[in-house]
A and B are shown apart, each in its own frame.
Chain A
């Protein structure tokens, strides 16, 4: 699945179903463009060079600053 502005309606509907949303709800017509914009706003994330960095899944800020 490609995220960002490239998300198309088919992918949106697939993920919406997987998330338990009712894809027949008229609300989806509002949600679809919102999701497109929201993911597009974060698209730059993929261009960040993160080689050598593990995910901060267990975050402890002290880990980084103890001299």
Chain B
């Protein structure tokens, strides 16, 4: 089999070949390392690459499978982790040279779960410094570059995860999402990004940005791969007090290919916000496609959408400043200036305003829960624009010019506030050839319904089969 074909296979396809011993994990890892070598000078997806570790793990996996000890669908699958996931013996920088020599002694829970499932860690992925930015620019380790056009951002903060999955450098990558950091790069790089329900996936061993907004999630090329990943990582973790003790379902079993009977709400306020006309056309076409597939589509209203920025911004600023306060005092002058400013600004939010934001969050969540009595899913754009140029601080949308940070987080922040599951799935390309994403969101702990609808849509299109020119 051609090495490049192995790199663009989904985990679902690859795992069946590995299980049936038609492909060896060694072949798979060699193909991916060659792909990384060829594309990394353009993309800069990785902060730390682990070729020796990966080859050794592949040989071990091959021996295990040959001996009849196949562990399941992640056995022998190449994985990359955002560089704020602690990995024992492997430096974990959070995208900052300040932590260039930080080598954790223990794996985070998710790294341990991947290892237990037999997945092979290829390396640690580039990211916006301390996950505090939505573009994927990094002045310490170099900017991330979009595989569809390297002059454009990947989106962030999990930008390396987005580019690595989109360009076939890894089969599965993981990101973390505080205001959109999984879904933004997923949409801008043309892959699938799932922000699971808050409390479904452990945060233990991840560098926090905001305790009450952080959600780790998979970034992959197909919805089935998101479900396969969730099967391995979701569920209670004693090391993360926020994780649920609920029984976790088999997420792949939810992928029935049908949306029959599902009620989907289009949030009208999403289309009143600044929105590129090409993106709007693609997203409306995607929703029409879901309707043709059997879903009932109605318009709904979320008036507090306009307040999402103030609510999540206040919580994020306060919590990020609280967590990084010692770092600021010690090494503030070594941080990227824009990240330093964001962190320091949080020190000026009063306790009264922080609590007001948490009150407003309660009201926001109440309004969203009312919406979810009318519909099963909410649909809209993941992003109002396609990927902007690297270092652009403002972007044109129609006849307006808006700030890049605000635009990129416009549609993603609401679901960090609510903690409810949301996915970005590819829904087309602009005339310039840049990917666009459809966002589907569901009720808390109904991640399976979100995956089901995204999968049905994906399988009725060919967007996920497109490959970037890199």
Contacts and interface: CB of A to CB of B under 8 A. Distances in A.
Interface of A: 1, 3, 7, 12, 15-16, 19-21, 27, 30-31, 34-35, 38-39, 41-46, 48-50, 53-57, 59-62, 64-65
A64 B444 contact: yes
A65 B138 CA distance: 38
Nearest to A50: B359
Contacts of B344: 21, 31, 34-35
Interface stretch (B121-129, B267-275, B360-368, B374-382): B360-368
Contact of A38 (B212, B317, B361, B368): B317
25 contacts: A19-B325, A19-B347, A20-B325, A38-B345, A44-B306, A44-B310, A45-B353, A48-B310, A48-B356, A48-B363, A50-B360, A53-B360, A53-B366, A54-B362, A55-B361, A56-B212, A56-B359, A59-B242, A59-B419, A60-B242, A61-B199, A61-B365, A61-B419, A61-B444, A65-B444
Given A61-B197, A65-B443, A7 B348 contact: yes
Contacts of A43: 310
Interchain residue pairs A-B with the least CB separation, the first 5:
A61-B419, A55-B358, A50-B359, A19-B347, A53-B362
Contacts of B366: 53, 64
A65 B198 CA distance: 12
B235 interface: no
Contact of B307 (A1, A48, A53, A61): A48
Nearest to A31: B344
B119 interface: no
A50 B445 contact: no
Given A19-B347, A60-B242, 20 more contacts: A34-B341, A35-B348, A38-B317, A42-B309, A42-B310, A45-B311, A48-B310, A49-B363, A50-B363, A53-B359, A53-B362, A59-B198, A61-B199, A61-B365, A62-B199, A62-B445, A64-B444, A65-B420, A65-B444, A65-B445
A57 to B, nearest CB: 6
B313 interface: yes
Contacts of B314: 42, 45
Contacts of A50: 356, 359-360, 362-363
Nearest to A52: B363
A56 B362 contact: yes
Max chain B C-beta neighbours (<10 A), residue from A20, A44, A59: A59
Given A42-B313, A45-B310, A56 B348 contact: no
Nearest to B353: A3
A41 B309 contact: yes
A43 B418 CA distance: 20
Contacts of A21: 344, 347
Given A39-B349, A44-B307, A65-B444, A55 B212 contact: no
Nearest to A44: B310
Contacts of B317: 38, 42
Interface string B288-320: 000000000000000010110111011001000
Nearest to B333: A27
B461 interface: no
A65 B372 contact: yes
Nearest to B372: A65
